Structure 1
Amino acid sequence: MTAITLEKRGQQAWITLNRPQAKNMLDGDAFVELADAWQEVRDDDDIRVAVLTGAGKEDFCCGGDLGKVIPLWTGARQPENPVEERLLADPAIPEKIMLKGEPLLKPIIAAINGRALGGGTELLQATDIRIAADHAQFALPEPKLGIVPGAGSMVRLARQLPWAHAMRILLGGEPINAAEALAMGLVSEVVPFGELQARAEHYADNVCRQAPLALQAIKRTALETHTLPWTDAFHYEMEQAAAVMMSQDAREGPRAFRDKRQPQFKGE
């Protein structure tokens, strides 16, 4: 059984954290396989949206499997297979799985099927639309262990949430439930577990109806201008808008509207 599964459903890539017996924690195999999955989504022009979820009904992801990964990184044990050898050989893999280096401009939907603790909460911050099952929980307990949530949360969370909410999660270490996460803005929607798959499919289908170049330009602009001064941000926005306006999709959209038909966007 692989630690990560990638299923392509037409224009959608469904990525599942597949270690339910271990709370979907990220071991060496999961690190490498998730990095590869993100790269495949990035490189495949036919894929327009990715959906990230966890296997089972209890856990989305309870962080890194410290008992397996930390000893490997510290040299306390030697790699046991080629995947672990690759993890040691490429120190950028932890950043790749959290999309901290090269951003993934295609929309990412998180279907949070249960607890997202530590690295699980950090991972979902790299996604765009977040649907949580109503029993989901979120926490960054790293300070209780004498470490920090250094996989993106110390930067991302205070930019994504109001300061007081971000600090409650970062400094408190206590879990918050799905309703609290929704009120804070950490997730987009909360649904009963039985409806989670259908809601994720709804959002993914809707994304696939949009023009892919337009969506990527929107996400790129949001990421790149988040900390820019207003004037610079608006200038960057106009550059992105002008580039999209020159695309074939920008011609197809108005034609389809005029002809009262669904547009056939090709990402060109």
Structure 2
Amino acid sequence: MTQDVLFEVDGAIAVITLNRPQKLNAVTPEMADAIVAAVNQCNDSETIRCVILTGAGEKAFCAGSDIGELDTYETPWQFRNRPDYCDAIRALLKPSIAAVNGYCFGGGLETAMSCDIRIASENAQFAAPEIKLGWIGGGGMAMHLAHSAGMSNAALMIMTGDPVPADKALAWGLVSDVVPRDQLLARAREIAQTIASRAPIAAETAKLNLKAAHTMPPEKAIEYERDLQTICFATEDAREGRAAFKEKRAAVFRRR
């Protein structure tokens, strides 16, 4: 790990904080490795049930990759095969929430969109500015934006590189909620606590199901959903859920 990426666990909730506010939390190769390590720790944990990703400071969630580091790659092929922090976030098995404060640009936008749920502070701004520097995003930018905001809005962002404010991001479906800056983490924790209280196998399976819904033809996606439902139905947690319902008490889920 590195001091530029903080990792903390509070009960069933893990928080990954990009901690380089003086550089707008721009990600270095060392930080990318630390994000991978944090993801692996979350995936290996039997107790972590939800992960929050945020940025330190008031100005930025993440401004993307540190542009000053990009010239250290000797060839475009080496750049192509670098460890990608967006891939790391997508590799999370646990439900994830991006708590977006300030600038969410480039790879930062891709990182936020790689999370399952996104909430934003009122000062958040979202942009795909790579075109202003001569390239395009490579961490899932087009795919995520097209699915979240629609093709026209995705094209507008990718082809102009201009930022979108939080209220417009909410209207477009890029985020689920916009809150005052000082309430952002509290709102993220509130959502995370709710998810953590649900059956964890079902929550993780729901994540797989949503991913499949993006990529499979409708008939196959529904078939896959039914298979996943059957797997969940066979767990001890599902039996506990049914028993708790009959006995009119709160269920105690144990990830079994």
One-letter identity of the residue aligned with 1:6:
F
Partner amino acid, structure 2, of 1:233: A
Residue 223 in structure 1 maps to residue 211 in structure 2:
yes
Structure 2: distance between partners of 1:191 and 1:125? 18
After superposition, give the CA deviation of every residue in 1:33-89 in whole Å (9 maximum; x if it has no partner). 11111111111121110000000111100111111x2132227xxxxxxxxxxxx8x
Q: CA deviation at 1:162?
A: 1.5
1:20 aligns with 2:21: yes
Aligned counterpart, 2:237: 249
- Give the secondary structure class of the aligned counterpart of 1:125: helix
How far apart in 1 are the matches of 2:93 and 2:102? 26
Contact 1:119 1:149 in 2 (8 A): yes
**What is the identity, as a one-letter code, of the residue corresponding to 1:3?**
D
- Quick one: structure 1 residues 187 and 101, their matched pair in 2 at CA, closer, same or farther if it must change by over 3 Å? closer
Q: Could you say what secondary structure the match of 1:53 adopts?
A: strand
Kindly provide the amino acid, as one letter, of the partner of residue 237 in structure 2.
D
What is residue 161 of structure 1 aligned with on the other side? 149
1:122 pairs with one of 107, 110, 115:
110
Would the alpha carbon gap of residues 103 and 29 (structure 1) be closer, same or farther in structure 2, given more than 3 Å must change?
A: closer
- Are the counterparts in 2 of residues 225 and 236 from structure 1 also a CA contact under 8 Å? no
Identity of aligned residues (%): 38
CA distance in 1, matches of 2:55, 2:88: 21
Q: For residue 74 of structure 2, what is the aligned residue in structure 1?
A: 74
Structure 1 residue identity aligned to 2:13: Q
Dislocated runs of 4+, deviation >6 Å: none
Question: What is the aligned partner in structure 2 of residue 3 from structure 1?
Answer: 4
Give me the whole-angstrom Cα distance separating, in 1, the residues matched to 2:170 and 2:191: 17
Aligned mates of 1:135, 1:236 — CA distance in 2: 40
Q: 1:235 aligns with which of 210, 223, 244?
A: 223
Deviation larger for 154-163 or 4-13: 154-163
May I ask how many residue pairs the two structures share in their alignment?
A: 252
- How is 1:1-268 mapped onto 2 (pairs within 5 angstroms)? 2-67=3-68, 69-74=69-74, 91=81, 93-94=83-84, 97-99=85-87, 103-268=91-256
- Using the alignment, how far apart are the partners of 1:101 and 1:212 within structure 2? 18
RMSD: 1.8
CA gap 1:7/1:125 in 2 versus in 1, 3 angstroms: same
**Alpha-carbon offset, residue 259 of structure 1:** 2.2
Q: Which amino acid aligns with 1:93?
A: P
Provide the C-alpha distance between the structure 2 equivalents of 1:100 and 1:197, rounded to a whole number of angstroms: 22
The alpha carbon displacement at 1:103 in A equals 3.1
In structure 2, give the amino acid aligned to 1:135: N
Distance 1:211 1:101, change over 3 A: closer
- Structure 2: give runs of 5+ residues left out of the alignment: none
TM-superposed deviation, 1:3: 1.1
Distance 1:225 1:206 in 2: 23
Quote the Cα distance in structure 2 between the aligned partners of 1:234 and 1:91: 34
State the TM-score, normalized to the length of structure 2. Answer: 0.93
Residue 98 of structure 2 aligns to a residue whose secondary structure is strand
Q: Distance in 1 between matches of 2:9 and 2:95?
A: 15
Q: Deviations over 1:210-257 (max 9, x none)?
A: 101111111101102323222211111111000000000000012112
SS at match of 1:16: strand
- Give 1:258 deviation, angstroms: 2.2
Which amino acid counterpart does residue 138 of structure 1 have in structure 2? F
Unaligned stretches of 5+ residues in structure 1: 76-87
